[in-house]
Structure 1
C-alpha cells in the first residue's frame, strides 16, 4: 500500500500534473487530495492560460501556500521558488559583476527604482551616467543595462543596489580610445599642403577650431583673410563649412589657412591692371625716399623720389599731403613680393629728351624770362640760364634795360647736364672767344695793316657789341 504524504504549509513539494484547465493546474502530490495552482501563482507575470503551456504528466515543483478541509484542497505556488532561484542568480550576478537588463519603474529624488526580473532595485544618481541623470525625468519606462553593487535580504525583505558606473566609464574609455585611434588614422592621411573641408567648431578672439571627421585644426585670425579682421565672429559662424589649406603639420597639431586659397589683393589687382597703365591712388605715407600710394584696398605702391618728375630738383612731396589723390603710372607689378613701383614722371613730358647741345656749342636761343640776376633761355625745349656776369663783356647793372623777353641771343654752352637738368650759357665768353680768335688770326699775318690801323681800333667795334 502506497504511503500517503501529510503536507504542511511552507513545504516544498514535487508532483505530476494530472489535469490542465485554462486557469488551474491539478497536481498529484501523493496526498489525501491533489494540489492546485492558479495562473497568478505560477509565474510573474502570470500567463494568460495553462492550455498549451502545460501538459498532463509534466513534473512540477511548488510550495504549499494553504491547506483547507472544506473543501479539501492544497493550494500551491511556484512564486517563492522562482523568487529564490532568481535571487540566487542575482547574487551570482553581483559576485561576477555581470551586466543585467533592467527597466525604470520610477524616478525618485535620489535615484531610479528599477525592475530586474521579479525584483526591484535602486540605482543612485551618483552611479548613473551624467547625460542620463541630467535628463532623468525622461527615463521612466526606459531599459538600462546595470551591474549590482549589493544583493542581500533580511527575512522577507530584499536589498538590491544597482550601478552603471563601470558600464559608462568603460563606454567612455572605449569611446575615447576609438576616437584616439580614428584621429590617429585620419591624421596620418593629412599632410602639409592638403586642401580640406571642415566645420567651424569653436570661435575664440584670435583663432577658430575647424573640425574634420575626427581631427581638428587651428585657423588663426591672420589666416582667414588677406584683409584686416577685428573680430572673427564678424566673418565666421559656428557650424559654417569652410575650405582650408594645411600650411603646417607639427605632431598632432594642424595650422590651417583660408586666405591661402584666396587670391591676394595684389593678385586681384594684377588681373585688373597692367604695367604702363595710368591709375589713381591715395597718398597714405611720406618717406624720406618717396611716397606710399594706396591703389586699392590693401594694395600699395611706392612712388620713389626719382620718379616724381624728369626734373631731379623737383620736390614733389612738398606739394602733396596725406589723403591727396594723385595720378601715377605703373612701372611693374611683383605679385610674389607684393611690390608695385610707380612713376609720376612717365606721365609728364621730358623737356630734356630732345636736348643735343653740348659744352662749347655756340647757339642762338630766345629769352623766355628775365630774373633778378639772370635770364632764362629756351634751348631745344629745355631751360638754360645766363647769369648776369655772363651777359656781356661790359658790366650790365640792369638786365631788363639791355634785354627783353623774346630777344634772340647767341651764346656758348658752358655745361649741359641731363641728370641734374642744369644748363648754363654765356654771351661774354662767346665774345671773348671770338676776340681771341680774331687776335690770333691777326698775329698770324705778322704784319701791320697798310692802312696803319692800330690793334685797339681793330677790336673796338667788337668790344662794343653785346
Structure 2
C-alpha cells in the first residue's frame, strides 16, 4: 500500500487489497471510497462469482467492503480507479475449502484438464493432480480426455509445499478397488451352503471350472464334482460361457466350492428308473473273473454275470468263448437298490429242458439213438441227451456200440444216474437184459428144481 508521507494520502497500487466504504450504488456499479482523492468503481461483473441482477442486491451505501485494486490510472484532470472482489472471494473460498483437504480424505473433484502424465483436478479453486497410473483399475489412458469436465471422487494421498506453491496428489484407483472389494464382500455374504445358483462358466482348467454365481462372486466346480461319470477332461462336459445350475457344497474363507453332479441323477438312479427284474438288456463285457464276468449295461452301470448263470448246460464254456468288449444279451435277475448292485443271467434267456424231468434211478424210459461214439451212444430221453456207455449196451462183450444199437432206433433203457443240475443222465440196456434173464431164471428155478437135480445141471440148462 502506498502512502504519501507529506499529506498522509493513500496512493493506490494495482494488486492492493483495501477496505473501503460504499458511497453510491446503482444497478450496474458502486462507488467506493478507499481513502484516495477519487472513489473507485466496482462493476456488477466484478462484485460476485455468482451471476447477479443488480449491485443493489449485494451492496448498500455506507457498507464496508474489502476490494482489490485491479487498475489505477492518473490523468491531468482526473484519475480512474477500478476495483474487484473476485480474487478476494476466490481466496476466501480457497481458504475455506483448503482446510477440508487432508491426506487420506476422499473428496469430489472436477476434472479441469488432461495433461501429460495425468489429470489436473479442481476442488473449489484448489488444484490437485491425479497421475495416470492412479486414475482407474483399467489403466486405459486413452479415456483421459473423456473425463475432462466430469466430477471424480479421489483420495488425497500426498500434500507437498514447495515455496508458495502446494502440490496435492490424489488417487482415484484405490477408491475403485475398495468399492469393488466392498461389493464383493456384500455379494459373497449372500451365499450359503446348499444354495442352488444359476451361473456362467468363466474359465476351464485341468482341475475344474470357475463359475460366476454373482455380480462379483465366483466359485469352483472341482473336476470330481462335474459329473457322476468319470471325467478325464473338464472341457468334454463344460465350455466357457455356458449357463449352468450349480449347488454350493462348501464355503471356506473366500472360497466357494460348487457341484454340478449333485443336481443330476446318478447313473444308478437312471438305471433303476428305467429297468426292473426280468428286463432283457444288452451289455459289454468289461472284466472276466474266476467267479463270473462284469458287464456294463448302461454307461458306468455294471452288473455281475455269475458263472452259474452262464448256461443251463454245464458243458458250455461261455467264458472261454467271450472276450473283453464282447456284447451279450442278458436278463436282469435281481436288483439291490441299497447296495446299488444287480445280477444278470444268460441261461434264463432260454428254457431248461431238464427242469421238468422227474426221473429216479431205476426208472425205465424210451430212448432214441442220436449218434454212435467210441465209448458209447448218445440217446435222447424226453428231449434231453443221455449217455449209454458201451459196457451198458449188451450183456455180451462188444467192441463197438454199433454192433447192438442203431441210429434213430428206439430202445427201452434203465436210468442208472440222473443229475439234472449237471445235465447228466446215464442209461443202460444191459441192466434191463440182466434183470429179464434173472426173472426167467428165477421162474424156471421155481418150476424145475427137484431134490435129485443139482445146481450145476440147472445152470447148465439155463445157459
Shift of 1:312: 1.9
- Give the aligned partner of residue 47 of structure 1: 51
- Matching residue within 152, 157, 161 for 1:144: 152
**2:162, 2:24 → 1: CA distance?**
36
**2:254, 2:444 → 1: CA distance?**
101
Shift of 1:352: 0.5
Shift of 1:201: 3.9
Distance 1:170 1:325, change over 3 A: closer
Higher deviation after alignment, 243-252 or 407-416: 243-252
Question: TM-score normalised to the size of structure 1?
Answer: 0.81
- Matching residue within 29, 35, 40 for 2:40: 35
- Give the aligned partner of residue 70 of structure 2: 65
What secondary structure is seen at the aligned counterpart in 1 of 2:371? strand
Shift of 1:395: 1.0
- Matching residue within 116, 121, 142 for 2:123: 116
- Give the aligned partner of residue 12 of structure 1: 17
Deviations 1:241-300 (A, max 9, x none): 322234456676554332332233443344444321333344454443334444344444
Q: Does the Cα contact within 8 Å between 1:112 and 1:123 map onto a contact in 2?
A: yes
Q: Does the alignment pair 1:403 with 2:405?
A: yes
Distance 1:252 1:41, change over 3 A: closer
- Give the aligned partner of residue 455 of structure 1: 458
**2:222, 2:84 → 1: CA distance?**
74
- Give the aligned partner of residue 92 of structure 1: 99
**2:92, 2:337 → 1: CA distance?**
85
Higher deviation after alignment, 431-440 or 234-243: 431-440
Distance 1:21 1:122, change over 3 A: farther
**RMSD, aligned CA:** 3.6
Question: TM-score normalised to the size of structure 2?
Answer: 0.82
- Give the aligned partner of residue 78 of structure 1: 85
Higher deviation after alignment, 436-445 or 323-332: 436-445
Distance 1:321 1:110, change over 3 A: same
- Give the aligned partner of residue 3 of structure 2: none
**2:254, 2:424 → 1: CA distance?**
68
- Give the aligned partner of residue 464 of structure 1: none
Deviations 1:122-175 (A, max 9, x none): 3333544433665434322221234373364646xx34323126xx54664465
Structure 1 residues 258-407: aligned runs within 5 Å? 258-334=260-336, 337-407=339-409
What secondary structure is seen at the aligned counterpart in 1 of 2:10? coil
- Give the aligned partner of residue 25 of structure 1: 30
Shift of 1:414: 2.0
Structure 1 gap ranges (5+): 461-466
Structure 2 gap ranges (5+): 1-6
Shift of 1:445: 7.8
What secondary structure is seen at the aligned counterpart in 1 of 2:418? strand
Q: Does the Cα contact within 8 Å between 2:27 and 2:56 map onto a contact in 1?
A: no
**2:152, 2:254 → 1: CA distance?**
37
What secondary structure is seen at the aligned counterpart in 1 of 2:190? helix
- Give the aligned partner of residue 199 of structure 2: 198
Shift of 1:235: 3.9
Distance 1:235 1:109, change over 3 A: farther
Q: Does the Cα contact within 8 Å between 1:331 and 1:341 map onto a contact in 2?
A: yes
**2:339, 2:56 → 1: CA distance?**
92
What is the number of equivalent residue pairs in this alignment?
449
What secondary structure is seen at the aligned counterpart in 2 of 1:419? helix
**1:95, 1:419 → 2: CA distance?**
100
